[in-house]
Amino acid sequence: MKKSVELKVNGESYELAIDPRRTLLEVLRDGLGLTGTKKGCGAGDCGACTVIMDGKPVVSCLVLAVEAQGKDIMTIEGLATDGQLHPLQAAFVEHGATQCGFCTPGMILSAKALLDANPKPTEEEIVQGISGNLCRCTGYVKIVEAITAASQKL
């Protein structure tokens, strides 16, 4: 039986009737059309589905949408403001930290959550901060460089 749920995503409120077995990932993509959040492994291991929930990075494939009621959710779509890229997004472009782009939304959100909590992280702290986001393309070096550069601008 569907439950009535209010989801707060990127500052907007959405009233939805949700089947309890739908994950937050499914509802973001299929219910709200916010396809920036990607499905990778579906088991919480790869981090492609990372969103920021109440300030903390979580894997949305393991969050029941009905349990996201009342939480502040940020997806990759919520990062740019007034058409301007967030410094993290700009840094990823500048430093070549994106190849296929599939890990990028989750990676950037993990980085954002890291920098919000720790504005000037060491390289080790950056590596720890993105340890839940797998990238098959880049080998991570340019991702770490981009996050370091963004942290210097923020």
Partner 1 sequence: MGLPKFEYLAPESIAEACSLLSQYKDKAKVIAGGTDLLVNMNNRELTPQYLIGLKNIPDLDRVEYDPAQGLRIGALASHQAVAGSPVIRDKFNLLADAAGKVGTPQIRNLGTIGGNLCNAAPSADTASPLLVLGASVKLVSVRGERTIPLTQFFTGALETCLEPDELLTEIQVPKPAPHTRGVYIKHCARGSEVDITTLGVSVLVTMAEDNTFADARIALATAAPTPMRAERAETVLIGKTIEDSVIEQAAQTASEEARPRTSMRSTAEYRREMVKVLTRRAIKQALEQAG
Residues that bind partner 1 (CB under 8 A): 1, 3, 20-23, 26, 42-45, 47, 50, 53, 56-59, 62-64, 66-67, 110, 113, 128-129, 131-132
For the bound state, the minimum distance from the C-beta of residue 13 to partner 1, rounded and expressed in Å, comes to 20
H-state helical runs in 51-153: 87-94, 104-117, 123-129, 141-153
H-state helical runs in the chain: 24-26, 87-94, 104-117, 123-129, 141-153
Chain position carrying tokens 């599939």: 102
Closest to partner 1 by CB, 128 vs 152, is 128
For the bound state, the minimum distance from the C-beta of residue 49 to partner 1, rounded and expressed in Å, comes to 9
| Packed helices 87-94 and 104-117: angle between N→C axes, nearest 10 degrees | 130
Closest to partner 1 by CB, 36 vs 90, is 36
For the bound state, the minimum distance from the C-beta of residue 121 to partner 1, rounded and expressed in Å, comes to 12
For the bound state, the minimum distance from the C-beta of residue 152 to partner 1, rounded and expressed in Å, comes to 22
Closest to partner 1 by CB, 64 vs 90, is 64
Instruction: Give exposure, 26-36, as e/b (b: 16+ Cβ within 10 Å).
Output: bbbbebbebeb
Closest to partner 1 by CB, 21 vs 153, is 21
* β-pair partners for 5: 16
